[in-house]
A = this chain, B = another copy of it.
Amino acid sequence: MPRADGPHAADDALARVRALRSRPGRDATGQHYVEGLRQVLAALDADLGVDLLLYCETLAPTIAQRRVRLARRAGVPVVRVTPEQFRRLSIATRASGVGAIVRQHWSAMREADPAAGLCWIAVGASRSPGNLGTLLRTAEAASVAGVVVLEPDTDPFDAAVVRASMGGIFGLRLVRAGHDQLAAWAARHGCGVIGASPRAALRYTEAAVRQPVIVLFGEERGGLTERELRLCTQVVGIPMAGRADSLNLGVAAGIVLFDLLRRRSST
């Protein structure tokens, strides 16, 4: 591990960040790269293991300075980079000047508490990192406890997912599990599995409201797969009142989860 203040600190840090852009790089290190003030602050606040801060004084807003100084005092290595170096790494339209290498915060399925928060959610494949990120942002805002990621190809630590989650990912537990593992966990805890599908006849407002429950969202266009449907104790849909045949994944999740929150609050 290079010293953060050594002569090659910036080059080393930039190479590490570049490696985290790819899935193999993230898998090999168990880390991910977060950029943007809001997300970096959320990562620091969540205390999930910030391994390194990347900081560009010219680009970063004043509010970032204080937090970076505090983090350094708490022992987080801080590497200063030039605006050019920062911009070359950035996926944002306007580079924020603050980035962080953060540990991926995975939990084990067996440690997941089915009674925590509003509920758990599970996701299968996702077509769009932006949609998955919005789903995470929405779930966190509804006080969902965590997310079970069923498909190995789905990576919630993709930078575009983390970015669209607006820091929400840091407020959620994340579990990677296969369908059988999830089924066993749900059975052990008497946990209902509500599948959300555009084609379901049962209205989401009639879904079981009692805890514990896990809400399963399928792929944006294809909906729930056969394997996912077999996990479900109930399948609910959002009746479309217009000509549309579906909603954006994050929107659908917001409607279902906030209705669950509304009904849970009123019981």
Contacts and interface: CB of A to CB of B under 8 A. Distances in A.
Interface string A234-267: 0000101111101110111111001101100000
A186 B42 CA distance: 42
Contact of A168 (B118, B143, B242): B242
Contacts of A259: 258-259, 262
Classify the interface of chain A: helix, strand, loop or mixed: helix
Give the interface centre of A134, A247, A251 by most chain B CB atoms within 10 Å.
A251
Interface string A139-169: 0111110000000000000000000001110
B258 A143 contact: no
A143 B167 CA distance: 32
B251 A138 contact: yes
A247 B251 CA distance: 10
A244 B167 contact: yes
A258 B238 contact: yes
A255 B256 CA distance: 8
Interface in A58-102: none
Interface in A98-125: 118
Interface of A: 42, 45, 118, 130, 134, 137-138, 140-144, 166-168, 171, 205, 238, 240-244, 246-248, 250-255, 258-259, 261-262
7 contacts: A42-B243, A45-B243, A134-B251, A137-B247, A141-B246, A171-B242, A238-B258
Counting from the closest, the 10 A-B pairs by CB-CB distance are A143-B241, A141-B244, A251-B254, A140-B242, A255-B258, A141-B242, A171-B243, A143-B242, A254-B255, A141-B240
